[in-house]
Amino acid sequence: MKAIGYKQALPISDTHALEEIELPKPSAQGRDLLVKIEAISVNPVDTKIRRGVQPDEGQYRVLGWDATGVVESVGQQVSLFKPGDKVWYSGALNRPGANAEYQLVDERVTAKMPESLNFAEAAALPLTSVTAWELMFHRLNLPTTSSGKLLIIGAAGGVGSIMIQLAKRLTQLEVIATASRPETKDWVRALGADYVIDHSKPLADELKAIGFDNVDYVTSLTNTDDHLPSIVDIIAPQGKLGVIDDPEKLDIMPFKRKSISIHWELMFTRTLFETDDMIEQHKILTSIAKMVDDGELKSTVADNFGAINAANLVKAHALLESGKARGKIVLSGF
């Protein structure tokens, strides 16, 4: 089968950063589905692993943790799906990714994709939807009756784009989104943010300009290192902070005086450790699909780069690494 992988951890400018390769077609066993990939999207995790994780000697690593496709065959223990089902998922970090014609994925982290979206539109949503949902409802433990103010730092990215929508549909929170460019500010407003402030300026001053001294909840989706001192200042006593990125240092001592709780979210934790509640991701994606089909959520596709090949994936990685992406980048078909 066709696939795109890398043999060395290299800068995206290197001609061997991502290469088109041929790999054996896998077969489904146990609770696995064999999915014929129709569309994928690209996430920051792809670029982080490509730059920083060296594959085993002589082996290629296949990236990609957002996919839509059609179930071709199922393992003996599969009970949730059958061949021909259209599915979506973000898979597992410790298994080969979706940048290939076929992929194995556990049924417990897979769901039937929304009927109202095509494959490319749907591919934009799985990883970011699971991340946003888990961060808000499983880590911060926000009930649907939550009120107060939620600040989303880096709101124009993939996770922020769906988090804005989920917060507005499923809670009573006022959503303050950060964005620094005219196009990203317009993007988050269109998704439903109540207020937009500029994260390239002091956050305390930006909040005061819209009439607030502090916020109850902060989700820091990018550049947490840079914003941590400001977060200490603006988060309300007994507030909650959720983090998804990879700060080099995270000194939480300044939060003690305010009794702030800190929450990490990695949507791959359940699959990495095969936790007893892996099925939660099937449930989340099923709920998201219904909300999409009911018109409550919309796809966060910002760019469609065309066919799934090395050249287009290089373009996608480069855009993500530039820090100028908004929403999600999708590719479809081989």
Alpha-carbon distance values, 299 to 2, 31, 167, 193 (Å):
27, 29, 15, 16
DSSP conformational letter for 88: E
Q: Of 93, 129, 98, whose CA–CA distance to 113 is shortest?
A: 129
**What confidence score (pLDDT) does residue 22 get?**
97
**Which residue type, as a one-letter code, is found at position 72?**
E
DSSP conformational letter for 256: G
| Dihedral class, residue 141 (left if φ above 0, else alpha if ψ from -120 to 50, else beta) | left
**What confidence score (pLDDT) does residue 41 get?**
97
Give me the residues paired with residue 67 across strands. Answer: 40, 89
**What confidence score (pLDDT) does residue 324 get?**
86
Give the CA angle between residues 77, 81, 83 to the nearest 5°: 100
Specify the residue for token string 């919309």. Answer: 298
Q: pLDDT per residue over 133-184, tens digit each?
A: 999 999 999 988 989 999 999 999 999 999 999 999 999 999 999 999 999 9
Q: pLDDT per residue over 184-228, tens digit each?
A: 999 999 999 999 999 999 999 999 999 999 999 999 999 999 999
Q: pLDDT per residue over 263-284, tens digit each?
A: 999 999 999 999 999 999 999 9
Domains plus CATH for the chain?
Answer: 2-125+270-332 (3.90.180.10), 138-264 (3.40.50.720)
Q: pLDDT per residue over 275-311, tens digit each?
A: 999 999 999 999 999 999 999 999 999 999 999 999 9
Inter-residue contact 226 to 178 (CB < 8 Å): no
DSSP string covering 20-71: EEE-PPP---TTEEEEEEEEEEE-HHHHHHHHH-PPSTT--EE----EEEEE
Sheet holding 61-62, edge to edge: 19-22, 2-6, 61-62
> pTM of this prediction?
0.95
Helices then strands, counting H and E runs in the chain, come out as: 10, 16
Inter-residue contact 35 to 102 (CB < 8 Å): yes
